[in-house]
Structure 1
Amino acid sequence: MRRVPVLLSAAVMLAVSSLAEAAPAAPSTPMRAPVADHHQYVYSPAAAAFLSSSAQLEPVTAQDLIAQLDAAGIERAAVLSVAWVYGRPAQLPDDEYDRVRAENDWAARQAGEYPGRLVALCSVDPLKDYALAELARCAASPEFGRGIKLHPAAGVRLDDPAQMARVQRVFRSANARGMAIVLQLRGTSAEGARLLIDQLLPFAPDVPVQVAYAQAPSAGARAGEGATQLAALAVLAEAAARQDPRMRQVWLDASSFARPGLSPADARRVVRRLRQVGMERVLYGSETAVGLEVPPRDAWAAFRSLPLTDAEAARVANNVMPYLR
């Protein structure tokens, strides 16, 4: 996969080794790779050019992604479109919605080259006026899987009633169309997690909701962001542990919580919360961020370095969302 190699494999493995003191004894037999990677991307030439303002990026095709999956031994992957990037406030092209549609369609065509292995999920910023129209268009197209990625380009403030109302209407529409939701959050606090449970999940009671975070609580996070996200994770985990009915359809995308550079103490905190959620609701995903190269093979090694039992890691490796089955 051709992206700017900001993190080299040696650095990744050094970060992984930092978790050794928190990890259990090495498994007696090698553990198979995950069945599915729930957090992968492809980039069209147009998206790569648009995203190259801060770092030079090249397009990433399905062929590139398949090579990375093969190297990791991963069978299938969710291809999450990056169409949401055109909503970035600092850029906002005049033909924003045209570009969003084109990028979603490009991702679908790429996934279509490997129909037995890749499933494309379109993406949209749920705060945009065109969000409902794009959701309806993607739901009607057989080229897309039965899910949509909601990714606010500038983040979302769930404590802002106007923003909350916009996200609620998209949740309601996705639920009505039977579309699973991949919700990408950034910097969400404990209060934001409570608002997610209280004011968003009731609008999508019938479809799976995959909660993902845009940055890991690791050495690469901004000051305080790791603690904020761990606090948000605690709220979700505690709600799951007390069997809050609103958490019945929630899956936790662990891609952002099991990353190279995670401290041993935070690794233990993450595992404690994952156990509260229940390993049957934890998904594996590599989540390669823009300009940050962490191949699936190294991302899986980082996940395996968490202090999980072999049985727990195996359960996560075998979990597959309905849109990928």
Structure 2
Amino acid sequence: MRRLSVLLCGILAASHGLVSAAPAVPGAPMADHQQYVYSPAAAAFMSSSTITLRPVSAQDVIPQLDAAGIARAAVLSVAYVYGQPVRSQDEEYERVRAENDWAARQAGEYPERLVALCSVDPLKDYALAELARCAASPEFGRGIRLQPAAGGVMLDDPEQVERLRRVFRSANARRMAIVLQLRETGTREARLLIDQLLPHAPDVPVQVAYAGEREAAPQLAGLAVLADAAARQDPRMRQVWVDVTAFARPGLSAADARRLVRRLRQVGMERVLYGSDAAVGVDVRPREAWAAFRSLPLTDAEAARVANNVMSYLR
């Protein structure tokens, strides 16, 4: 019923010239939980002497979704990048706010299709202020994207861990879902998440994704920590969802595919989310990313369960 209502909304909006409707594709996921947009300023900031990035707008994202038959997507701001130590600069917080607002305007062009999530480096002094600002604005979805690894978080530094706790507590108080991106070497981070962060956000969904290159082994090691906790029915895992973006890639070995499926089954397919990361990983579009996910040794029922999972900030 939810899939039907979303598609009908898109069709009605398209008939009034408001938004393009995603074409029906059998078995397509209802939502893409990890798309990105970034402004010309952010594209220039993230470029280097060897890599030149171009801006990514909502008008770039929508055709990708249409080709995959996906009705809805979260577009994640990249404002957190301004907090990276290697990129320290003047007027940092102003740039963070401007990038978050740019992402919100992009989603506003297709309100029936896109929801913008602001982002912030959780270690920064302004992190709580930006979270509160985003939570109060109707232009943003009810979630915030955090990537502490990008800010150089030190797991053995009690002060930095406490800063993360404060952000978790603030998100929980404002009923903001947390999209947390862990590093490729996520074993220690996964334990930190379970032991020291999840208890401070017991009432909101926490979407865990992995960042990094195509190496599956380190990511699977981090996922194993979460999966084992879920299998033990650890109450701290009650609101945790696993984003399979990092794994929805062609070329995963058969052995790693079997390991991944075993871990996802431990987590529970009802808490596995599809995402494509397509605007950043331009070599893999949503259609191809979903095809790669469907190549995993899942049953049709399991794949359908994942296709129909939608986080609260996209409903």
Q: Which amino acid aligns with 2:80?
A: W
Aligned to 1:11: none
Q: Find out whether 1:59 has 2:55 as its counterpart.
A: yes
Aligned to 1:272: 262
1:109-120 residue pairs with structure 2 within 5 A? 109-120=105-116
Deviation at 1:157, TM superposition (A): 3.2
Aligned to 2:124: 128
Aligned to 2:5: none
Aligned to 2:273: 283
Deviation at 1:46, TM superposition (A): 0.7
What TM-score comes out, normalization by structure 2 length?
Answer: 0.88
Query: Which of 184, 209, 215 is residue 212 of structure 1 equivalent to?
Result: 209
Distance 1:189 1:41 in 2: 22
Distance 1:294 1:137 in 2: 33
> 3-state SS of the aligned residue for 1:90?
helix
Aligned to 2:193: 196
Conservation of the 8 A alpha-carbon contact between 1:83 and 1:104: yes
Conservation of the 8 A alpha-carbon contact between 2:37 and 2:279: no
Query: Which of 303, 321, 324 is residue 314 of structure 2 equivalent to?
Result: 324
Conservation of the 8 A alpha-carbon contact between 2:85 and 2:152: no
Q: Find out whether 1:100 has 2:90 as its counterpart.
A: no
Aligned identity (percent) is 79
Aligned to 1:248: 238
**Structure 1: tracts of 5 or more residues without a match:** 1-29
Aligned to 1:32: 27
Aligned to 1:157: 154
Deviation at 1:51, TM superposition (A): 1.3
Q: Find out whether 1:183 has 2:185 as its counterpart.
A: no
Distance 2:247 2:152 in 1: 18
Deviation at 1:105, TM superposition (A): 0.1
Deviation at 1:189, TM superposition (A): 3.7
- 1:60-112 Cα deviation digits (max 9, x unpaired): 11011001100111000001001011112222121111110000000000000
> 3-state SS of the aligned residue for 1:184?
strand
Deviation at 1:50, TM superposition (A): 0.9
RMSD of aligned C-alpha atoms? 1.5
Q: Find out whether 1:314 has 2:304 as its counterpart.
A: yes
Distance 2:207 2:99 in 1: 22
Distance 1:110 1:289 in 2: 14
Deviation at 1:227, TM superposition (A): 2.6
Distance 1:147 1:51 in 2: 24
Distance 2:204 2:137 in 1: 18
* Structure 1 pair 291–192 and aligned structure 2 pair: CA distance change class (3 A): closer
Conservation of the 8 A alpha-carbon contact between 2:123 and 2:151: no
Deviation at 1:127, TM superposition (A): 0.9
Q: Which amino acid aligns with 2:136?
A: A
**Structure 2: tracts of 5 or more residues without a match:** 1-24
Aligned to 1:10: none
* Structure 1 pair 240–112 and aligned structure 2 pair: CA distance change class (3 A): same
Number of aligned positions between the proteins: 289
Q: Which amino acid aligns with 1:321?
A: M
Deviation at 1:229, TM superposition (A): 2.1
What TM-score comes out, normalization by structure 1 length?
Answer: 0.86
Conservation of the 8 A alpha-carbon contact between 2:182 and 2:189: no
Conservation of the 8 A alpha-carbon contact between 2:248 and 2:276: no
Aligned to 1:50: 45
Aligned to 1:74: 70
Larger mean CA deviation between 287-296 and 304-313 belongs to 287-296
